[in-house]
Structure 1
Amino acid sequence: MKAGRKRAFDKEVVLDKAMRLFWANGYSGTSVANLSSELGINTSSLYGTFVNKEQLFKDALAHYQKQYVEVNYSHLVEPSNATLKERLQACFYGLIELFTSDETPRGCLLVKSLNESDSVAFPEDAVVYIEKSGTETQKILTDLFVSGIAKTDMPKGQTAEKLATYLLSISYGIAVQAKAGKSEEELKSVLDHSLNSILG
């Protein structure tokens, strides 16, 4: 019995390249022909590895979340002696650096995809994934604020849920502004103003 033919490419490298194409051009703006050409693999190999464009896109979203986003959210979930404000600043500074980096397309892949998700051609599974990701982030922030309230380093009269929603809204706006060309310094200043307005 012959051994299975070995793939001639590294799946993770190809996935990262595909993610960058979707990040730059959007789901609808990235065709299978674009993917095949830019990734340097033929269509049959692409389908053989990722099934179809829809699954490749969903895999690219998960890759983005795991490799580029989660490292920043670690500041919010891992034990730390830092203040609530310092933890939030570390997380969102990291995201701003990602959104404005010259090493990747500007902005946020998830926010870009969310803005495109009302398109008829946009995959339903991807919508579910993005919504789940947003819910999980909301919970992370809410839990952190609950802890902050318990430690009394939060202003009275605020609820954890409202503050989490507020910061998520600021984060989405920052991603859009980064895509529009705002600098890292400008966006960090916006974040600092937002944190100062709720935490002093």
Structure 2
Amino acid sequence: MKAGRKRAFDKEVVLDKAMRLFWANGYSGTSVANLSSELGINTSSLYGTFVNKEQLFKDALAHYQKQYVEVNYRHLVEPSDATLKARLQACFYGLIELFTSDETPRGCLLVKSFNESDSVAFPEDAVVYMKKLGTETQQTLTGLFASDIAKTDMPQGQTAQKLTNYLLSVSYGLAVQAKVGLVEDELKSVLDHALNSIFGYS
């Protein structure tokens, strides 16, 4: 009995390249022919590994989240003696550096994909996955703000949900502004202003 043929490519490397194509061109703007050509593998190998374009896109989103986003959110989920303001700044500074890096397409893959998700051709499974990530982020931030409100004298009328919605709106805007060309220092200044509006200038 013949042994099965060994895959001639590194799946993680191919997945990272596919993620960058979707990040640069969007889901609809990236065809299977584009993927096959840019990844250097034939269509049958592509389908044999990732099933179809829809699954490859979902895998690319998961790869983006794990390799590029979670490294920054560790500042929020890992134990730390730093203030919440400092932890939020570290997290979102890291995201800004990602959004403006010369090593990857500018902006945020998830924000770009959400903006495209009302397209008829956009895979529903990917929408479900992105909404799940969004819910998890909201829950993390809401929990942190709720704890901080209980421990400090934050401005009257603030709620954890309100602060979370505000900061996520700022983050969304930072990704869009990075895409249109604002540089890292400008975006960090915007983030600092947003944090100062929540915590004060201390």
Counterpart residue type for residue 122 of structure 1: F
Aligned partner of 2:69 in structure 1 is 69
Count of residue pairs brought into register by the alignment = 200
Aligned partner of 2:179 in structure 1 is 179
Aligned partner of 1:101 in structure 2 is 101
Contact 1:84 1:153 in 2 (8 A): no
Superposed counterparts of 1:19-30, under 5 Å? 19-30=19-30
Q: Find the aligned partners of 2:98 and 2:184 in 1 and give their Cα distance.
A: 9
Q: Find the aligned partners of 1:156 and 1:141 in 2 and give their Cα distance.
A: 19
Runs of 5+ unmatched residues, structure 1: none
After alignment, is 106-115 or 139-148 more displaced? 139-148
Question: How much identity, in percent, do the aligned residues show?
Answer: 88
Report the TM-score when normalising by structure 1. Answer: 0.98
After alignment, is 125-134 or 95-104 more displaced? 125-134
Deviation at 1:153, TM superposition (A): 5.4
Aligned partner of 1:50 in structure 2 is 50
Aligned partner of 2:6 in structure 1 is 6
Q: Find the aligned partners of 1:89 and 1:98 in 2 and give their Cα distance.
A: 14
Counterpart residue type for residue 91 of structure 1: C
| Residues 148-187 of structure 1, C-alpha deviations (whole Å, 9 max, x = no match) | 1122153332100110010000000000000000000000
Aligned partner of 1:123 in structure 2 is 123
Q: CA RMSD in A?
A: 0.8
Q: Find the aligned partners of 1:154 and 1:81 in 2 and give their Cα distance.
A: 19
Deviation at 1:147, TM superposition (A): 1.5
Q: Find the aligned partners of 1:62 and 1:154 in 2 and give their Cα distance.
A: 36
Aligned partner of 1:147 in structure 2 is 147
Report the TM-score when normalising by structure 2. Answer: 0.97
Aligned partner of 2:36 in structure 1 is 36
Contact 1:76 1:91 in 2 (8 A): yes
| Residues 55-111 of structure 1, C-alpha deviations (whole Å, 9 max, x = no match) | 000000000000000011110111110011100000000000000000000000000
